[in-house]
Structure 1
Amino acid sequence: MAQLTQPAGSAAGEGSPGAGPGGAPQPRGFRSAELGWPELGRIPHPPRRIPLIGDVIGANVRTPVQDSMVIARTLGPIFRRKGFGKEIVFVWGADLAAELADEARFAKHVGLGVANLRPVAGDGLFTAYNHEPNWQLAHDILAPGFSRDAMAGYHQLMLEVAGQLMSRWDAREAAGDAVDVPGDMTKLTLETISRTGFGHDFGSFERERPHPFVRAMIGTLSHAQRRNVVPPVLAPLLLRGAERRNAADTAYLNETVDAVISARRSAREPGSGDLLDRMLEVAHPDTGERLSVQNIRRQVITFLVAGHETTSGALSFALHYLAQHPEILARAQAEVDQIWGDVAEPAYEQVAKLRYVRRILDEAMRLWPTAPAFAREARQDTTLGGVHPMRRGAWALVLTAMLHRDPAAWGERPETFDPDRFAPAAVRARPGHVFKPFGTGARACIGRQFALHEATLVLGLLLRRYDLRPEPDYRLRVVERLTLMPEGLKLQLERR
């Protein structure tokens, strides 16, 4: 999930004296002097800035990431944007991003849209502040749940969920109907994480409309995004109804997860050693500490939301580009046919052998990383790029979607979809820290290997079964709700 525009009253004060990196947010307004950039004026900003209001001319509140990408192309590898007293420093140049990835100098900054999710996710793995102990506790307890042996154990359930998707697509293809790619990928990835991680079946494929959990999740993400762009002084007026809806969405998420946890607790025997079992039964190997009841709820919500929303987006973008590039589609199908042959269900070990299919996923995530930005803060006073002083706690937003387009790292045609960018020789030739779809450092996505195995498996299964045809008039539109997703994407299928 992405971090977009800093909400008023979030972690802005962390750069001020007495609030170290990762400290609790200060309950006060946003002022540029508190950003921790002593020479902020040296960083370019868009022209036609309006006093008090900021850089709002031409801005679209629904697409802040894509707006920032347009500005980045004009202003260069570091720039700033201001709106109604909120000022953000954006970084996307490969060299500067490499510095910000240095864990000795910088740490994750929890602010922006992520802070808006804390009412529902609290100190879960994604939304915890660096100083909160439950992050490390949960990470140490849950990390073995993503080991190779654990991943192999999830494989059969992943196959079963993919089988439900293909049954649905077979019916659509037989009827001559297009498939709703983002909608069906969301059903697939929600069922995958809920069944493998928590033993819960949402019954997504028995529904035409999204499950209420998905609607509530989208509601909370969209509300967090909207809070970023509404002026604080107008929020009580403009967001009154939205706040009530968000409270209802949050309550539904909590009630759903509480029911899942209660069902597991009341079972006579534990589950299959999945993530929920680990949360409920496993103590920290060194300290003996256990996760609290409240934190278990927060972790489950975190995994259910983050564990399916970003993967569904990655699969959707990959399918879009495959349909647009029949020569790449044919090459990928040939790889699947050669490696998997006629086997009914590929074994766990056969998934990683789809190296070209994996390159397609990587290239889709390069162009449209579904988590399109992440924030980093200075651990101590430092200077970025040898030019820009940063005080301890000063933070910047790495605009991943532009870092992945930096010509210095990706060549003269970075907008072109080309999976061979991820051929081994090409990867070795690139500088480090230029591909960051899962964040960076100690707080990078714990479920990265889970997501990549699931996505590669599903894409391989779909390529083996179908030819993909785009709708003739479709042009890619990207919707933003903290994460990115292709909007209105439908594909025509033909059984191979």
Structure 2
Amino acid sequence: MAAYTSIPGSCPVDSASLKQEACIRTTELNEGSSSTSSIDEKEDPFTIQSVLYATGENQGDDDLDADSPQEVIDHSSLLPIPSPPHKHYYGFVGHLADLDPTLPVRTYWHLMDTYNPIFQMDLGMKYPRVFVGSREMVNEMADDSRFIKFTHRLHQEMRAVFGNGLFSAESTSKAWKKAHRLLVPALGDWETRPIGLSKMFDDMQDIATQLVQKWDRYGPDHEIELIGDMSRLTFDTIGLCAYGYRFNQFYSEQPHHFETELKEAIIESGRRANRPDVLNRWWYYKDEEHRQENIVKIRGLCESIIQERIDNPKPDANDLLNVMIHGIDKETGEKLGFDNVCYQIPTLLGGGYETTSSTLSFLYYFLCDTPQALHKAQAEVDEVIGDKVLTYDMLPNLKYLDACIKETLRMQHPVSLLTRFSTKDTVIGGKYFIRKGQMVSGIWRHFHRDKNAWGEDADVYRPERMLDAEFQKMPPNAWKPYGDGLRACIGRGKLTYNRYSRYALY
């Protein structure tokens, strides 16, 4: 019989099944052992987060700055990057046949456990793909003079869904720059942005209250399907706060058709990016037909949302839709345009709702699994909120709860890989040669648990390490929950406040 852990005042949570299901949906399993084999082999490894943040295509020298100054490298002092032996077909297909077909990133985790802090695999690219698991090497990857982010085949496939939205557009394109300049101030700095969290807060509470009422109606003995409810919560919250649109998923047992269509389109795009073109064209053509049908439906709803706002303006609405329709880019003096706004709607929904829902699910898991942290979080909520109604002004006082969320993102990041490309021949870790144009991926599961940065208890859930004094002592890039650079998560501020306001309510 499954062991259930109950949060006082809420419904019981099956912590064992919760962790297993959440790990599959986020392609992130951090149990500190080989227990990853317990995942159901029939589960689909492609989830929205794993697809949106996976990287898998070669970028040759022609794609990089040919004028990048080259380092003078003494190869006599370098070590070869470890590489696992080929297990299938005598290495004729490199390591492709060695990847776990149900969850490829699981192969990377196991290999990093063996070769930490670095190894490489032949995955059919021009150069072997390098994986790193130490904070020091990830810190080197953050050096923009040596490593950069690139769009690749995944982004190309995603353009069928997201067009020139923020995720799939080239960073150098006019459309991307214009949208970035308009949307980052609206989502980034809470002190200076035109759309304040305080103005969105009532809408956030509206959706969260629907979830609380649902749980209350079921009673304390009902088993919560937490991950599904967290997905409904975050999808509906983004829909209402960003676009003034109600998906009303708490009034139905089935997900909204738009969520299903968006998820299916994203997942199939990820699959296409990881399959040879010949298979996509001749073997999986029915899957592509279904993807195109979903894209048409996605586009139709997005157009109707925008047209409704144009026909019935809401000048006082504090949402992103007003910014995207009426906002004027100061640099070009232009608006985004109807098509671009259409692409931004699924982009922000697809990129934001499952990463947030996964983090909330893992937060519940770790708190249920760590009673002392749960009791501290509950005591803080009781002290700050008590029997009053949660308000925006209370959120900054929930410091321990904020630490719990940060520690959750460290222990169980909803994304698997942080990938960049080298702009020139260089050396990483002081002794490993990286060629110009070579792909290097940091494995979040490992560099977020690097004992050289976090101490011997790096595999232990301990929110106290995220409190001000101790957290400020951490070396650079020890904690990188939102990526880096221009293409880092632009909604990180909203997501953070969203997460711990949700838990405080429950």
CA-CA distance at 1:77 after TM superposition: 1.9
Partners of 2:424 and 2:338 in 1: CA distance: 35
Match in the other structure for 2:196 = 150
Match in the other structure for 1:97 = 138
Partners of 1:41 and 1:235 in 2: CA distance: 39
Partners of 1:74 and 1:350 in 2: CA distance: 46
Query: Match for 1:400 among 444, 460, 472?
Result: 444
CA-CA distance at 1:240 after TM superposition: 2.6
CA-CA distance at 1:389 after TM superposition: 4.1
Amino acid in structure 1 at the alignment position of 2:338: V
- In the alignment, structure 2 segments of 5+ residues that lack a partner are 1-48, 67-74
Amino acid in structure 1 at the alignment position of 2:200: Y
CA-CA distance at 1:154 after TM superposition: 0.6
Residues 296 and 121 of structure 1: is their aligned pair in 2 closer, same or farther, counting only changes over 3 Å? same
Residues 184 and 5 of structure 1: is their aligned pair in 2 closer, same or farther, counting only changes over 3 Å? closer
CA-CA distance at 1:88 after TM superposition: 2.4
Alignment of 1:280-429 (within 5 A): 280-344=325-389, 346-429=390-473
Residues 83 and 390 of structure 1: is their aligned pair in 2 closer, same or farther, counting only changes over 3 Å? closer
Kept after mapping to 2: 8 A contact 1:264/1:270: no
Residues 450 and 348 of structure 1: is their aligned pair in 2 closer, same or farther, counting only changes over 3 Å? same
Partners of 1:74 and 1:229 in 2: CA distance: 25
| Counterpart secondary structure, 1:319 | helix
Amino acid in structure 2 at the alignment position of 1:74: T
Match in the other structure for 1:59 = 99
Partners of 1:377 and 1:415 in 2: CA distance: 29
Alignment of 1:112-131 (within 5 A): 113-131=154-172
- In the alignment, structure 1 segments of 5+ residues that lack a partner are 23-37, 463-496
| Counterpart secondary structure, 1:90 | strand
CA-CA distance at 1:51 after TM superposition: 2.0
Kept after mapping to 2: 8 A contact 1:110/1:375: no
Partners of 1:269 and 1:428 in 2: CA distance: 43
Amino acid in structure 2 at the alignment position of 1:162: A
Which digits, 9 at most, give the CA deviation of each residue in 1:58-110, with x for residues without a partner? 53222122221111111122222234568422222111100111234332222
Match in the other structure for 1:43 = 81
Partners of 1:285 and 1:273 in 2: CA distance: 20
Kept after mapping to 2: 8 A contact 1:6/1:228: no
Residues 430 and 268 of structure 1: is their aligned pair in 2 closer, same or farther, counting only changes over 3 Å? closer
| Counterpart secondary structure, 2:486 | helix
Partners of 2:255 and 2:212 in 1: CA distance: 17
Structure 1 residue 160 and structure 2 residue 206: aligned? yes
Kept after mapping to 2: 8 A contact 1:194/1:304: yes
| Counterpart secondary structure, 2:502 | helix
Partners of 2:53 and 2:209 in 1: CA distance: 36
Task: State the percentage of identical aligned residues.
Answer: 29
Partners of 2:214 and 2:122 in 1: CA distance: 46
Which digits, 9 at most, give the CA deviation of each residue in 1:344-379, with x for residues without a partner? 2x2212112111111111111112211222221234
Kept after mapping to 2: 8 A contact 1:194/1:200: yes
Alignment of 1:231-250 (within 5 A): 231-250=276-295
Match in the other structure for 1:472 = none
Partners of 2:83 and 2:294 in 1: CA distance: 37
Which digits, 9 at most, give the CA deviation of each residue in 1:459-486, with x for residues without a partner? 1111xxxxxxxxxxxxxxxxxxxxxxxx
Residues 76 and 228 of structure 1: is their aligned pair in 2 closer, same or farther, counting only changes over 3 Å? farther
Match in the other structure for 2:311 = 266
CA-CA distance at 1:271 after TM superposition: 5.4
Which has a greater percent of strand? 1
Partners of 1:216 and 1:197 in 2: CA distance: 19
Amino acid in structure 2 at the alignment position of 1:255: G
Kept after mapping to 1: 8 A contact 2:263/2:350: no
Partners of 1:71 and 1:366 in 2: CA distance: 20
Amino acid in structure 1 at the alignment position of 2:139: A
CA-CA distance at 1:197 after TM superposition: 0.8
Q: Normalization by structure 1: what TM-score?
A: 0.82
CA-CA distance at 1:331 after TM superposition: 1.2
| Counterpart secondary structure, 1:396 | strand
Residues 200 and 283 of structure 1: is their aligned pair in 2 closer, same or farther, counting only changes over 3 Å? same
| Counterpart secondary structure, 1:352 | helix
Q: How many residues align?
A: 440
Residues 368 and 249 of structure 1: is their aligned pair in 2 closer, same or farther, counting only changes over 3 Å? farther
Kept after mapping to 2: 8 A contact 1:55/1:83: yes
